[in-house]
Structures are given as C-alpha cells and as structure tokens.
Amino acid sequence: MAILGINAYHGDASAAAVVDGRLVAAAEEERFTRVKHAAGFPSDALRYVYQAAQTSWNDVQCLAVARDSYANMWAKARNAVRLPKLLARRVGVQSRFASIGKAVEDAVGSAKPIPVERVEHHRAHLASAFYVSPFDEAAVISIDGLGDFSSAMWGVGRGNRIFPFGAVNFPHSLGIYYTALTQYLGFPKWGDEYKVMGLASYGEPEMLEEFRRMVIAPNGGRMDFELCPDYFVHHNSVPQMAWGDGEPMLGRLYSRYLEQRLGKAREPHEPIEDRHKAIAASLQRRLEEVMLDRLRQLRKVSGVNKLCLAGGVAFNCVANGKILKETGFDELFVPPAAGDAGLAMGAAMYLWHQMLGNPRDFVMDHAYWGPEFTGSQIAQAINGVRDELSRQRCDVFRIDDEEALCRFAASEIADGNIVGWFQGRMEWGPRALGNRSILADPRRCEMRDILNSKIKRREPFRPFAPSILEERAGEYFEYSRPSPFMLMACAVRPEKRSIISATTHVDGTGRVQTVNIAQNRLYYRLIKSFDELTGVPVILNTSFNENEPVVLCPEEALDCFLRTKMDLLVMGGYVIKRTVETQVPNSD
Ligand SMILES: [Fe+2]
C-alpha cells in the first residue's frame, strides 16, 4: 500500500511516499522551485515522490495531510472570535485545504479521487521521529513555533502506537520566543534562527534574568511553560504572514516593551555589537534551561531512557548536544527533517501505524531520499555549459574507478582546494550530508573565512561542520555515538581543537556528522582517503549552495560552481577543475 504524505500551505512545503510502511522518497518543494522554505503547494516534490515510489495511481490508497482543522477547534474558534482578522485568514486557509485532494490529483495527473486523512501537526512531528527511530519504546516530544494551535506536545511511543499526554498551546511557544528574538537581532528571514544560535557562542548570557522573565517556566516537576505577554505581540494582534508560493514571511513578533528592556532592535545592515552577542547568548541559554528541564521531567514521568525529538526547535544542535549529558536520557533520535518538511513523512507514517495499526519494520539510518541523476544526465548538463567552462579555463575529465576518484578528491582537499561534491540521491532535510556538499580541509583555519566570504557569501561568525568516520568520532569529540544527521553540537577534545580548527566553533564544539560505510559508501571512502593522506579522519562539510536552497540537479551544481570560486566540481565520475584562478565576479 502506498501513502503519499504532504505538508502544504505552510513553511517548508514537502512531500513523501511511504510504501508498506517504508519510506521510499521524500523532498522539500524549495529544491524544485528554488525559493527557500517554499510554503505553497508542493506540486514538484509530490510529482517526484510519486514517480520515485514507482507506484501507480491505483496503488496509492491514501493521502496523509499534516494538518487537522478540527484539532484544538474550540481554542482556535475562541481566538478567532477575539481577533476577526485571524478568522478571515483561517477561512482562507481552510478553503485551500478543503480541495487539497483535487490539487494532488492534478499534480500527479490522475482523474481518480483519493481518500484524504488529516493528521494533527504535532502528532505528525512525533511520528516523523518515533516511527523511523531504532527504538521500540521512547519518550517523544515535539517543540516548534506553532502548528494546529499547539507549540509543543509530548508523550510516549510504544511499538506502533504513540500516546501523547501533554501539550502547550498558543500563544506560549519556545519557537516563537526564539524567532521573535531572531527578528529583534536583525535576522528577519524565515529560518534565520540557526544564525543566532551560531552567534550566541560569541557572547555571555549577561541578560539571563531578563530572559527568565520572558519565558516563565518554573524548574522541577513541570512540563508546561509560558511566554510573558509583555514582550511579544502575536497574542493580541495578527502578525503579517505570507504563505504563498514565495519565501514565507512573518511580521514582527516582539513588542516595543521588549525594545525598552533590551534596547533598540538591530537593523539587518547594522554591525553586530557585543550587546547583540550577549542577547543571543542569553536567548540561547534560556531556551536550553527550559528545554532541558522539561526533558528531565519527561524522563521521570515516562520512565523511559530513550528520547525522540522533532519540531523546528529540534534543529537547535547546541541544546541537543546537552540532552544526553543533562537530562537522564541515554539515547536520542532526531530525524534529519526534524522541522515542518518532516511533517509529510510523519503524517504518512502516522496513518500507516497509528490509524491503520500496521507493525513497524523500518529505521531511517540515512537521509538520502531525494532525486538522483544518471551519468548521461550529468554529461548533458556539462555539455550545456562547455563554452563557459572553457572561458573560465576548466578541465573536464572522468575518473571511473571509485577508489581512484576518492583518492584524487581527497588529495585535492588536502592541497587546500574547495571541492563541490555532487553524488547520488539528494538529502532529505536542510543539512547536506555528503551528496550535495561543498568540502574542504578542516585543518586549515583560513578555510572558514575563504568559504564564508568567497563561496557561501554569508556572515563571518557562522561555523562549518565536520564529517568524521563513525568509528573514529570518540578520538576527536567527547561523544562517540553515531550522529548521522549533523544535529548535535559536541565538544571537540581539547587536544584536537587546533587540528580541526576550521570546523571547531568558538565555544570548542563541532556540529558533527558521523559517516559509516553502510550509510554512504562513497563519502565514507572519501573521508577514509583523506585520513590515509593526512592522518585526520575529518572533512569540512557545508551545503552545496550560495544563498539559495541546496542544489538539486547537475545544472544547478554547475551554475553554483561557475559563479563562485570553488576549485573543483565532482559530479558522479566527472571532474571539473579550474586550471587557473579566474576573475569570477564577487558580489561581496
Ligand atoms: Fe512544526
């Protein structure tokens, strides 16, 4: 039985195909439309997963939609009556969801109607973690901005059932808290929170007391928390929102009172001062205090020592890195698409297990669920830009032997070259994990500045992540468990910090990705080759993009290569190498 899952008309629109309880394909719409966090209807992602599932319309027996208008209905209604503008918005959204089955049929070209099942937002988040985790039993928690009127939900998963036993509802939300302060700090775009998380390491939490007044969450024995309304506006006005086909947009969430307390908000073009770093650090520390204390409580009330975590706040890898040390849980699973994109898969899994009662036999042990391209498609894309490649003095050649390809790329990286690495199926979730990656030498401290200024063209304070052979993780990090999805910041062992200086953040941590041969044979062999050359089993890994969604296809990889100062591009067995440093226009 095939189930299509969908997250539509919401940030990070996406689609997933689950066949007989196993995920077969999943992708975010942004990769196809090239609009970051695209929030409309995921037509392209849907067409891709439908085709990748190699199913026919007759095999598709249900569409699982990650939204349930009936969830928290009375609370939604009360709020809508209080804020008439909100009522109008709800009616508009509702009418789009009413015809979602027809929109799906149109997208994949079928005249046959398909039954639609709705799954509440946080249940889909919980399902996206628990049902694909390796755990038979686990405590489960979802923490995000807001979805179906809740911002957090927790419970226990056992076998093929999830038993939620608590939630926090609008307007209280750790996600909204973090987003509001991210806006205040001059990062207004949807999904900018991770930038502030990186900035937080540069400051001291000098304003923690103020932030403790902002998020009211007594320690010990409580799961709930509240936002102090004085600091925010979302509870008594309707922030501007854009959920169309373009990039999602959210109006200002912080109040004038917050500015009175913390000082004037930073404009995006203004310099980042020590004050901003201290605010980011205080924001992050308070999030960790509240989150870790709730998790300690969840550990107690659930009586289970394994944890599954999802929701947008689960991307806070700094907080995640403290969970096993500070909350009593022994094992943690966070799926690669922990945010709203993951809802598509979560809804489909929820339908298969919770609603239809089917047993589990699938564990998500890698994140490569997106499109892939053949050698001839890659060759065709290269032929399409032959003139530009010769103008920029690039050699094009092939290395068909996998071992030789890895040895060649590893030696180029060790020589200080920056390599675009495009292989196999695209990653599901925001992190590039070795199939759509830009790779560099982690031993060269200057790589951080070179990558930030010349390739990625982004803020200088943002760190780069290390990919390490799984079996060697304990040598370099004070953490030796698998971390395949790059969702945990771990302390780098003090004696190794200067060795992998380009991937060690200012606070001495690295957002580590462990790689084993079963997950990604080629990437594993590349890192292994680098280790054989240098004695360091680590490669710097950043996503293959430049202020755009991660590249999907060979044409986009070539385009990114040609407009940046990357030294090499390796796509399948094809190698494109600059022979001289070209005068590529720099938008700095
Ligand atoms: Fe969410």
Buried/exposed code over 356-386 (b: 16+ C-beta within 10 A; e: otherwise): eeeebeeebebbbbbbebeeeebbebbeebe
Kindly give the distance from the C-alpha atom of residue 140 to the centroid of ligand 1, in angstroms, as a whole number.
Answer: 14
Kindly give the distance from the C-alpha atom of residue 498 to the centroid of ligand 1, in angstroms, as a whole number.
Answer: 38
- C-alpha span between 181 and 232 (Å, rounded): 10
Q: Is 311 exposed, middle or buried (0-12, 13-18, 19+ CB in 10 A)?
A: buried
* Whether 479 contacts 323, CB under 8 Å: no
Kindly give the distance from the C-alpha atom of residue 353 to the centroid of ligand 1, in angstroms, as a whole number.
Answer: 20
Kindly give the distance from the C-alpha atom of residue 124 to the centroid of ligand 1, in angstroms, as a whole number.
Answer: 9
Kindly give the distance from the C-alpha atom of residue 1 to the centroid of ligand 1, in angstroms, as a whole number.
Answer: 27
Block residue for tokens 């939900």: 153
> CATH number of 375-578: 3.30.300.30, 3.90.870.20, 3.40.50.2300, 3.30.470.20?
3.90.870.20
Closest listed residue to residue 205, CA positions, set 319, 296, 109, 284: 284
What is the domain partition of the chain in residue ranges?
2-122, 126-337, 375-578
SS3 550: coil
Kindly give the distance from the C-alpha atom of residue 150 to the centroid of ligand 1, in angstroms, as a whole number.
Answer: 9
Q: Is it true that the peptide bond before 171 is cis, omega within 30 degrees of 0?
A: yes
Kindly give the distance from the C-alpha atom of residue 546 to the centroid of ligand 1, in angstroms, as a whole number.
Answer: 26
Kindly give the distance from the C-alpha atom of residue 245 to the centroid of ligand 1, in angstroms, as a whole number.
Answer: 19
- C-alpha span between 428 and 371 (Å, rounded): 10
Closest listed residue to residue 13, CA positions, set 89, 91, 92, 107: 107
Kindly give the distance from the C-alpha atom of residue 243 to the centroid of ligand 1, in angstroms, as a whole number.
Answer: 14
Q: Which residues pair with 491 in a beta bridge?
A: 509
Kindly give the distance from the C-alpha atom of residue 175 to the centroid of ligand 1, in angstroms, as a whole number.
Answer: 9
Kindly give the distance from the C-alpha atom of residue 96 to the centroid of ligand 1, in angstroms, as a whole number.
Answer: 19
- C-alpha span between 446 and 168 (Å, rounded): 45
What is the helix (H) or strand (E) element at residue 173, kind and residue range? none
Q: How many angstroms separate the first and last alpha carbons of the chain?
A: 51
Block residue for tokens 């169309």: 244
Kindly give the distance from the C-alpha atom of residue 234 to the centroid of ligand 1, in angstroms, as a whole number.
Answer: 17
Q: What is the pLDDT of residue 588?
A: 37
SS3 70: coil
- C-alpha span between 498 and 484 (Å, rounded): 24
* Whether 324 contacts 330, CB under 8 Å: yes
Kindly give the distance from the C-alpha atom of residue 464 to the centroid of ligand 1, in angstroms, as a whole number.
Answer: 26
Residues counted in the chain? 588
Find the Cα–Cα–Cα–Cα dihedral 110, 115, 119, 124, rounded to 10°. -50
Q: Do domains 2-122 and 126-337 have the same CATH topology?
A: yes
CATH 3.90.1570.10 fits 126-337, yes or no: no
Q: What is the pLDDT along the chain (588 residues), one digit of tens a residue?
A: 899 999 999 899 999 999 999 999 999 999 999 999 999 899 999 999 999 987 766 677 799 999 887 788 777 777 777 766 666 666 677 777 778 888 888 888 877 788 899 999 999 999 999 999 999 999 999 999 999 989 999 999 999 999 999 999 999 999 999 999 999 999 999 999 999 999 999 999 999 999 999 999 987 778 999 999 999 998 877 666 666 667 888 899 999 999 999 999 999 999 999 999 999 999 999 999 999 999 999 999 999 999 999 999 999 999 999 999 999 999 999 999 999 999 999 999 999 999 999 999 999 999 999 999 999 999 999 999 999 999 999 999 999 999 999 999 999 999 999 999 999 999 999 999 999 999 999 999 999 989 988 788 888 888 899 999 999 999 999 998 999 999 999 999 999 999 999 999 999 999 999 999 999 999 999 999 999 999 999 999 999 999 899 999 999 999 999 999 899 999 999 999 999 765 444 433
Closest listed residue to residue 540, CA positions, set 526, 559, 521, 519: 526
Closest listed residue to residue 49, CA positions, set 384, 378, 337, 248: 337
Q: What is the pLDDT of residue 563?
A: 93
pTM: 0.95
Kindly give the distance from the C-alpha atom of residue 289 to the centroid of ligand 1, in angstroms, as a whole number.
Answer: 21
* 2-122 homologous superfamily: ATPase, nucleotide binding domain (3.30.420.40)
Kindly give the distance from the C-alpha atom of residue 148 to the centroid of ligand 1, in angstroms, as a whole number.
Answer: 9
* Whether 521 contacts 368, CB under 8 Å: no
**DSSP states along 276-340:** HHHHHHHHHHHHHHHHHHHHHHHHHHH--SEEEEESGGGG-HHHHHHHHHHSS-SEEE--TT-SG
- C-alpha span between 44 and 330 (Å, rounded): 40
Kindly give the distance from the C-alpha atom of residue 146 to the centroid of ligand 1, in angstroms, as a whole number.
Answer: 6
Kindly give the distance from the C-alpha atom of residue 128 to the centroid of ligand 1, in angstroms, as a whole number.
Answer: 11
Kindly give the distance from the C-alpha atom of residue 352 to the centroid of ligand 1, in angstroms, as a whole number.
Answer: 20
Kindly give the distance from the C-alpha atom of residue 560 to the centroid of ligand 1, in angstroms, as a whole number.
Answer: 31
Kindly give the distance from the C-alpha atom of residue 317 to the centroid of ligand 1, in angstroms, as a whole number.
Answer: 17
Q: Which residues pair with 171 in a beta bridge?
A: none
Kindly give the distance from the C-alpha atom of residue 338 to the centroid of ligand 1, in angstroms, as a whole number.
Answer: 9
Kindly give the distance from the C-alpha atom of residue 520 to the centroid of ligand 1, in angstroms, as a whole number.
Answer: 29
Q: Residues lining ligand 1 (ion), CB within 5 A?
A: 144, 147, 340
Kindly give the distance from the C-alpha atom of residue 398 to the centroid of ligand 1, in angstroms, as a whole number.
Answer: 43
* Whether 304 contacts 138, CB under 8 Å: yes
Kindly give the distance from the C-alpha atom of residue 193 to the centroid of ligand 1, in angstroms, as a whole number.
Answer: 14
Q: What is the pLDDT of residue 56?
A: 67
Closest listed residue to residue 149, CA positions, set 67, 229, 225, 271: 67
Closest listed residue to residue 487, CA positions, set 459, 524, 513, 448: 513
Buried/exposed code over 91-126 (b: 16+ C-beta within 10 A; e: otherwise): eeeeeebeebeebbbebbeeeeebebbbbbbbbbbb
Kindly give the distance from the C-alpha atom of residue 355 to the centroid of ligand 1, in angstroms, as a whole number.
Answer: 20
Kindly give the distance from the C-alpha atom of residue 405 to the centroid of ligand 1, in angstroms, as a whole number.
Answer: 40
Closest listed residue to residue 478, CA positions, set 454, 504, 455: 504
Q: Is 202 exposed, middle or buried (0-12, 13-18, 19+ CB in 10 A)?
A: middle
Kindly give the distance from the C-alpha atom of residue 383 to the centroid of ligand 1, in angstroms, as a whole number.
Answer: 42
Q: At what angle do helices 174-184 and 274-302 cross, to 10 degrees?
A: 170
Q: Which residues pair with 163 in a beta bridge?
A: 156
